[in-house]
């Protein structure tokens, strides 16, 4: 009997596996388990560097024989890429699907480092600058045996939560359409599946739009996760997958 496909949910910068009763990927685990998927949600250093977070990911997946399908939000996609390419993750990973991952870096990280000195103390923030990501990409090529898929996200800057709108404006000027943290250009990697009409946080079911005088269209990310889960199930039944 074939093993259930295993999904690894990888959180982003300043993220968590679970905080009190809140999962980072709110509602995704029960959805996937209802679809017959096995789910793992590692806990990575919340503000660590890509190297530190990838090392933590490797340790927590050490006993997992695979095959594994990785789903990563934001910085989590970079941790996964390093694990796959540099830490033998390719021997167990079949696919990586990234959601608003700054593969080319982010002008938001560039701006934070320049205007808010305390944030420069966080290694994770320093790693997401456009210069650092150019170096990362040169030394972290995609592995030919792993399928790379990506989703980007965008809303008009006027629809970004006010607490992060300044970053959205900066990214809009330098990189174009964005979700307040990551541009569509930067989030596009491998097989680009879709650009979604939401901000960076709505992708993990967090709504920080607190303006009662200006409503904006709601976004439900669960159909996206269901589509990813269905793709994984179909992928896992292909003859070449070995199942």
Structural domain boundaries in the chain: 6-241
Which is higher by pLDDT, 17 or 65? 65
Please count the CA atoms within 13 angstroms of the CA of 190 that sit on its side-chain side: 24
Looking at domain 6-241, what is its CATH homologous superfamily?
Alpha/Beta hydrolase fold, catalytic domain (3.40.50.1820)
Chain mean pLDDT for the chain: 92
What's the pLDDT at 116? 52
Respond yes or no on whether the N-terminal peptide bond of residue 67 is cis (omega within 30° of 0). Answer: yes
Q: Are 55 and 80 in contact (CB under 8 A)?
A: no
pLDDT band at 14 (very low <50, low <70, confident <90, very high): confident
pLDDT tens sequence across 90-124: 999 999 999 999 999 999 998 876 655 566 668 88
pLDDT tens sequence across 184-208: 999 999 999 999 999 999 999 999 9
pLDDT band at 236 (very low <50, low <70, confident <90, very high): confident
Sequence-distant (≥ 6) Cβ neighbours of residue 62 within 8 angstroms: none
pLDDT tens sequence across 134-180: 999 999 999 999 999 999 999 999 999 999 999 999 999 999 999 99
What's the pLDDT at 1? 39
Q: How far apart are CA 122 and CA 132, in angstroms?
A: 14
3-state secondary structure the chain: CCCCCEEEEECCCCCCCEECCEECCCCHHHHHHHCCCEEECCCCCCCCCHHHHHHHHHHHCCCCCCCEEEEEECCHHHHHHHHHHHCCHHHCEEEEEEECCCCCCCHHHHHHHHHCHHHHHCHHHHHCCHHHHHHHHHHCCCCCCCEEEEEEECCCHHHCCCCCHHHHHHHHHHCCCECCCCEHHHHCCCEEEEEECCCCCHHHCCCCCCCCCCCCCCCCCHHHHHHHHHHHHHHHCCHHHCC
């Amino acid at each position: 009997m074939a093993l259930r496909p295993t999904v690894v949910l990888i959180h982003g910068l300043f993220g968590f596996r679970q905080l009190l009763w809140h999962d980072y990927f709110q509602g995704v685990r029960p959805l996937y388990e209802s679809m017959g998927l096995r789910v793992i949600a590692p806990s990575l250093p919340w503000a660590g560097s890509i190297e530190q977070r990838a090392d933590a990911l490797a340790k927590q997946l050490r006993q997992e024989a695979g095959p594994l399908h990785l789903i990563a939000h934001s910085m989590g996609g970079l941790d996964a890429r390093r694990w796959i390419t540099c830490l033998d993750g390719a021997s167990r990973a079949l696919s990586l699907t990234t959601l608003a991952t700054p593969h080319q870096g982010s002008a938001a990280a560039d701006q934070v480092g320049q205007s808010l000195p305390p944030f420069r103390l966080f290694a994770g923030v320093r790693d997401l600058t456009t210069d650092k990501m150019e170096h990362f990409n040169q030394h972290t090529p995609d592995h030919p045996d792993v399928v790379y898929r990506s989703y980007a996200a965008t809303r008009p800057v006027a629809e970004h939560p006010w607490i992060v709108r300044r970053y959205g404006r900066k990214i809009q000027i330098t990189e174009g359409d964005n979700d307040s943290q990551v541009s569509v250009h930067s989030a596009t990697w491998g097989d680009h599946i879709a650009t979604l009409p939401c901000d960076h946080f709505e992708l993990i079911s967090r709504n920080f739009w607190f303006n009662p005088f200006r409503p904006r269209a709601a976004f439900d990310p669960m159909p996206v996760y269901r589509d990813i889960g269905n793709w994984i199930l179909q992928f896992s039944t292909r003859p070449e997958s070995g199942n």
